[in-house]
Structure 1
Amino acid sequence: MLTKKTKFLAIAAVLVGVSVWFLLHPTHQAELADKRSKREAAGAATAGKAALSVEAIQPVAVQWPMTTTLNGSIFPWQEALVSAEIGGLRIQQVLADVGTQVRKGEPLVLLADETVKADVQKQMATVEKDKAALAEAKSNADRAREIRESGALSAQKINEYLIAEQTAVANLALSQAELENQKIRLRQTRVVAPDDGVVSSRSANLGNVVSSGAELFRLVRQSRIEWRGEVNADQQMAIHTGQVVNLILPGAKKVTGRVRLVAPTVDSNTRNALVYVDIPKDAAKPGMYVQGKIDVGQQQGLAVPLSAVTYRDGFAYVFELGQLGSQNTSKVTQRKVRTGRSRGEQIELLEGVAPHASMVLTGGAFLNDGDTVRVISTVKGGV
């Protein structure tokens, strides 16, 4: 059994040995302290290192026009049907084709007119015959009137002469009317354009025997076209005659038109109304389906440059800057926003950030929520 004195002497010997070792090795303690300080410095540097150097901006208040977007097709302003007014005749000559510019009264189709000309000649002969009959009846009636008081002719015979005269007058008028009718039929063998315009379709073919009322051509009246956009009932109240409409045609071509009228009724099936817009004659072709935008007023909003908005997974985000720290560093917060109108290099923010929030101008695609950035400058006015 060790005595208390023996234990005390053993512990004292160990302590003396450790002290002697540290006295013989003074650099070991310094190395440990140096390594500890380096680790702490490296940790501090890592914590404060900026992921990106950025410029800061704030949303700006803008007064932009409100735009209503419509879709619709281009139609002829009015389409005229050109039909045959006479039937049973063969097409002898076709003088126009699709795309032909025509003037009012210009012939488009000539029909074979031999039989009609023969009917005209026949009726002219009938008129001459009725004229001769009238002359004879008139002569007899005049003699009857002269001798009416002499009693040479009975009253019945005199009445017969007078009635024959009236009948001859009526027959002549009837034959003359029929002659005029035959002349009209002769004129109808020339099918003419009812108005100025351009031929949009043709069904007339050489040699066809036409029937009365058969469609031969269609004309775009006065070569005038219009765009008919569909608008719902809510948007309809903001659209008025005379407003400017910007149409976006295939190939990114833009055409400006004006609202001519807004349909007074809403379609019971689609719940949409039509907006009729006059556009330049040669700007587009009927049948095109295009988009149109109508400025319907002014509305205030907040806008930022397009570069400040980052799109990920189908959503729009901005990176909002927090409180600036040492060396102008700041942590960013990824904010989901809803965008609206765009104009030039700016886009409207409808919701998601405060009006006075600071955010990253460019480089959002390289950032993540919580990253530290260094702010090198602040761009005034958001541009």
Structure 2
Amino acid sequence: MNYETTMNYSGPADPEAGETVETEAAAASTRRRRIIVAALIAAVLIAIAAALLLSGGEEADLSADAETVPSVTVLAPGQGTIAGVINATGTIAARREMPVGVVGEGGRVVSVPVDQGEWVRQGQVLAVIDRAVQSQQAASAAATVSVNKADAELAQANLDRALKLVDRGFISKADVDRLTATRDAAVARVKVAEAQYRELLARNDRLNIVAPAAGLLLTRSVEPGQVVGAGSTALFSIAKGGEMEVQARLSETDLARVSVGTSATVTPVGTGKQFTGQVWQVAPTIDEQSRQGIARVALAYAPELRPGGFAEVRINSGTVVAPQLPESAILSDEDGSFVYVVDKDNKVRRRKVTTGLVAASGIAVTSGLEGNEKVVLRAGGFLNEGDTVRPVAERAEPAGSAR
């Protein structure tokens, strides 16, 4: 008996083969998920990059716009009291220097009892000249005076005796006249001799070189043993009363701003010490070569003030109330001085100004500014009327310190 038996089996015949099919299916699903995630990540990155590119372009445009507008430093100067100062240099000298030389006939110098830098009084002997010969001449003249006096006394006695005999008739009138003339001549010779004697004494006194006035002895150019004579160069120089001065050299413009009595400060070169004085004389003439004049500043004596030395001088030239700007802010051309002012729209505007006193902290602007404007401090030479700028306020510091 034949039987056909049909058996249905859904699974693989080989169990290992079934497991392989399931593994491949799972791997395919995993790959699909990875591809989807990668695509999403790529899309996000692209979006971020696009955003960055767009924002970067905008910033670049803003930077480019900012770079085209220059920044300038501005300052509102306000109003202030400005003390004008004229700076100059000059030479220290004695206010009244007195050269002292040989007054008499001169001779060999015996002694010099003073030295430079010492104070001397009026009439003090500065140098003694040998007077041995002159002393003998004076002694001879004194003897001559004595002889003439004796002759005069004898002539007077003879005349007295003659007058007593006239009444008796022993002496004539003519003899009396002759004796009177003899007496008169003798008296005259006495006077001549005395005058000559006094002259010799005066000449001898002039052999000593003396100080004509009290003061500070500046120079001494004579030594014992030296032979000096009339007409020789000065042997000593004296600063009368020790008074000093500085001969400050000023331009024509500055000299016109200085007057007698103006105060000044003097600083000798090599010292940090300052001395206060006053202008006591303004030169009436201007040097044709240097175009300068001299203002003489009187100073009291001080050891640091050495004649011939160099000094810096600051002369006060008055005060003024006005805005003050550093030199860098003030420009000039053929039309005169001007400044650049930044208006409310940040536009550069030219403003004509008039300058005044110059001080260490800046220059006074006497007209053209009220003081509340935004004035360009630097780089004005690179600007033009109507330029747009970005003003930057100046930090608080002295105007004179602007770079």
Calculate the TM-score normalised by the size of structure 2.
0.68
Which residue matches 2:53? Answer: 39
Q: Deviations over 1:294-328 (max 9, x none)?
A: 2222234434699x99xxxxxxxx9998989xxxx
Taking a change above 3 Å as real, the CA distance of residues 381 and 67 of structure 1, as seen in their structure-2 partners, is closer
Amino acid at match of 1:293: R
Instruction: Please state if 1:97 is matched with 2:97.
Output: no
Matches for 1:246-325 after TM superposition, within 5 Å = 246-251=265-270, 252-282=272-302, 283-303=304-324
Amino acid at match of 1:79: E
* Paired residues, number: 336
Decide which structure has greater strand share: 1
Quote the offset at 1:258 in angstroms. 0.5
Distance in 1, matches of 2:393 and 2:157, equals: 121
Quote the offset at 1:112 in angstroms. 1.6
Instruction: Please state if 1:164 is matched with 2:168.
Output: no
Distance in 1, matches of 2:344 and 2:173, equals: 130
Instruction: Please state if 1:141 is matched with 2:159.
Output: yes
SS across alignment from 1:241: coil
Name whichever of 195-204 and 124-133 sits farther off: 195-204
SS across alignment from 1:65: strand
Return the match for 1:180 from 186, 198, 211.
Answer: 198
Q: Deviations over 1:329-359 (max 9, x none)?
A: x999xxxxx998455xx54486999954558
Q: Deviations over 1:61-85 (max 9, x none)?
A: 2220222333322221111122222
**Sequence identity, in percent?**
23
Return the match for 1:75 from 87, 93, 100.
Answer: 93
Which residue matches 1:84? Answer: 102
Distance in 2, matches of 1:42 and 1:206, equals: 97
Q: Is the 8 Å Cα contact of residues 70 and 291 (structure 1) preserved in structure 2?
A: yes
CA RMSD in angstroms, aligned pairs only = 4.5
Distance in 2, matches of 1:153 and 1:259, equals: 83
Quote the offset at 1:235 in angstroms. 3.4
Taking a change above 3 Å as real, the CA distance of residues 270 and 61 of structure 1, as seen in their structure-2 partners, is same
Amino acid at match of 2:116: V
Taking a change above 3 Å as real, the CA distance of residues 237 and 219 of structure 1, as seen in their structure-2 partners, is same
Distance in 1, matches of 2:199 and 2:170, equals: 44
Matches for 1:112-261 after TM superposition, within 5 Å = 112-214=130-232, 215-251=234-270, 252-261=272-281
Distance in 2, matches of 1:43 and 1:303, equals: 45
Q: Is the 8 Å Cα contact of residues 73 and 376 (structure 2) preserved in structure 1?
A: yes
Gaps of 5+ in 2: 1-35, 330-338, 349-353
Calculate the TM-score normalised by the size of structure 1.
0.71
Q: Is the 8 Å Cα contact of residues 131 and 204 (structure 2) preserved in structure 1?
A: yes
User: Rg larger in 1 or in 2?
Assistant: 2
Q: Deviations over 1:198-222 (max 9, x none)?
A: 2222221211222124332111111
Taking a change above 3 Å as real, the CA distance of residues 145 and 267 of structure 1, as seen in their structure-2 partners, is farther
Q: Is the 8 Å Cα contact of residues 58 and 355 (structure 1) preserved in structure 2?
A: yes
Distance in 2, matches of 1:380 and 1:112, equals: 72
